[in-house]
Amino acid sequence: MKQIAILGSTGSIGTQTLDVIRRNSSEFQVTVLAANSNDELLEKQIHEFNPRFAVLSDESAYQRLKSRYSGATEILGGRQAFIDSATVDEIEIVVTSMTGFAGLEPTVKAIKSHKTIALANKETLVVAGEIITKLAREYNVKILPVDSEHCAFFQCLNGENPKSIEKLLLTASGGPFRGKSREDLKHAAIDQVLAHPTWNMGKKITVDSASLVNKGLEVIEAKWLYDVDYDRIQVVVHPQSIVHSMIQFCDGSIIAQLATTDMRLPIHYALHYPNRIESDLPRLDFWQMKDLTFEKPDLETFRGLKFAYEVGKAGGTLPTTFNAANEIAVAEFLKGRIKFLQIYDIIEETISRRTNKKNPALEDLYAEDLESRETAKSILEKLK
C-alpha cells in the first residue's frame, strides 16, 4: 500500500483526494492529514481514515481538537508541525493541496525528504519554480501536477520527447465574466465572482479564475513544469472546459486531453502514476456536447493574465510580489472591503513599488512575500 500525506486535507482538493482514496482503499493508506483550522472536518476525516498523525496549523483549532479527541491518531499543532508533517519516513506521496504561498515551505521539506509531490499548490512553482525544479532534480523527486491543465500536458507528453514541444496551448474557461468589459465589472458582486460556470472549487481560486490571475499563475506553473519559454505558452479561452489543455508538437500535430470537469480525475492520475488505472468517475457524453469553442483572452480587461506574463518573464522576486499582492487583494475582496477591479490596482501598484531581486534564495522569497504583503496592505489603506 502506498502511504500518503495530504497537506490541506479539509480544502477542496484535499477532500476530493480523500474521495479518490476512498474509491481505491486497498491501494492507499493515509498516514498524515494536515489542515489549517477546520478541526471539525479534520476530526471526521480522522475517524474515517485513521491516519498516524493529524496536524492543525492553527493553535486554537489544535487545542479544540486535542481537548475532545481520544483515539489512536497522534494530534499535532502549530505551523512548524504542519511544515514538518510530510517528512515521516514511510510516506511515499505528498499531496500539496494547501492554498497560497504557505505551501512553499512544507513542499521544500517534503522534497528534501525524498517524497513524490502530487502538486496542487501552484503558488509554490509560481514563486520558486527555479529553486523547486532544481531541488527536485537534486533529490531525484517527481513532481506530478494535479492542476487539470498541467495534468493534461503531462498526459499529452506520454511517450513524447519534451524537446519536440512547439507550443503549450493552455485552456481557460474564461470564468464567470468572459466577454464582459471593464465597465461591466465595476460593480461585480462577490456572489457573481464565486459563480464559476464550469468548475466547483475553493473560494480563493474561484476569485483568481474570474480575474484570470489563476490562468496567469498557471502559465508560470507550466513554464517551470515543462521548461517552455513564455512566448511558447499560449492561453486559449475554451468556455466548455472539456479540452483541459493541448500540446502542439514540432511537426504541427496537436495532442489534447479531454475529460469531464472533475478534479478527481487528475488526482486519480497523479496518485496512480505511472499506471493508468480504471476509475468509476463520470464519463464525457459526446451526444450531450453541443460544441467546443475557442477564443482569444481579453488581456486589457483581465489584466491579471498580462501581469503574470510580465512578472514571469522578469523572474527574480517579482512573481512572489505579484502572488503576495494578489493573495492580500483577494482576501480583502472576499471580506467585501474592495471592489473586484481593485484587485488589479493593488497588484499593479505593489509591483511598481517593489524592487526586483534577481536569483533569489528561498530566504529572499520568504522576506519578499512578507514585505510585499505589507506594501499591498498600505496601498489598501489608501484605496479605502
Task: For residue 102, give the 3-state DSSP assignment.
Answer: helix
**Complex with Mn ion: residue 39 or 147, whichever CB lies closer:** 147
The pairing of beta strand 243-249 with beta strand 165-172: antiparallel
Q: In this chain, which stretch among 22-30, 143-151, 223-231, 356-364 interacts with Mn ion, using CB under 5 A?
A: 143-151
Q: In this chain, which stretch among 25-33, 105-113, 147-155, 306-314 interacts with Mn ion, using CB under 5 A?
A: 147-155
**Complex with Mn ion: residue 123 or 147, whichever CB lies closer:** 147
Bridge partners, residue 31, by sequence: none
**Complex with Mn ion: residue 28 or 153, whichever CB lies closer:** 153
223: cell is: 513554464
**Complex with Mn ion: residue 212 or 329, whichever CB lies closer:** 212
Residue 147 interacts with Mn ion (CB under 5 A): yes or no: yes
CB of 217 to Mn ion, least distance (A): 9
Residue given cell 512575500 in the structure block: 369
**Complex with Mn ion: residue 77 or 266, whichever CB lies closer:** 266
**Complex with Mn ion: residue 7 or 213, whichever CB lies closer:** 213
CB of 358 to Mn ion, least distance (A): 29
CB atoms within 10 A of CB 253: 11
CA separation for the pair 284, 303 (Å, rounded): 33
Strand order of the β-sheet with 93-96 is 74-77, 53-56, 28-35, 2-7, 93-96, 116-119, 143-145
Q: How many positions of this chain bind Mn ion (CB under 5 A)?
A: 3
DSSP string, 232-299: GEEEEE-TT--EEEEEEETTS-EEEEE--S-THHHHHHHHHTTS-----SPPP-TTT------B---T
Closest CA relative to residue 87, chosen from 106, 59, 102, 103 = 106
CA separation for the pair 7, 109 (Å, rounded): 12
CB atoms within 10 A of CB 234: 16
Q: In this chain, which stretch among 4-12, 30-38, 136-144, 148-156 interacts with Mn ion, using CB under 5 A?
A: 148-156
Q: In this chain, which stretch among 28-36, 109-117, 149-157, 277-285 interacts with Mn ion, using CB under 5 A?
A: 149-157
Q: In this chain, which stretch among 71-79, 142-150, 265-273, 279-287 interacts with Mn ion, using CB under 5 A?
A: 142-150
Residue 123 interacts with Mn ion (CB under 5 A): yes or no: no
CB of 344 to Mn ion, least distance (A): 20
**Complex with Mn ion: residue 148 or 321, whichever CB lies closer:** 148
Judged by CB under 5 A, the chain residues 268 through 327 that form the site for Mn ion are: none
Q: Which residues bind Mn ion (CB under 5 A)?
A: 147-149
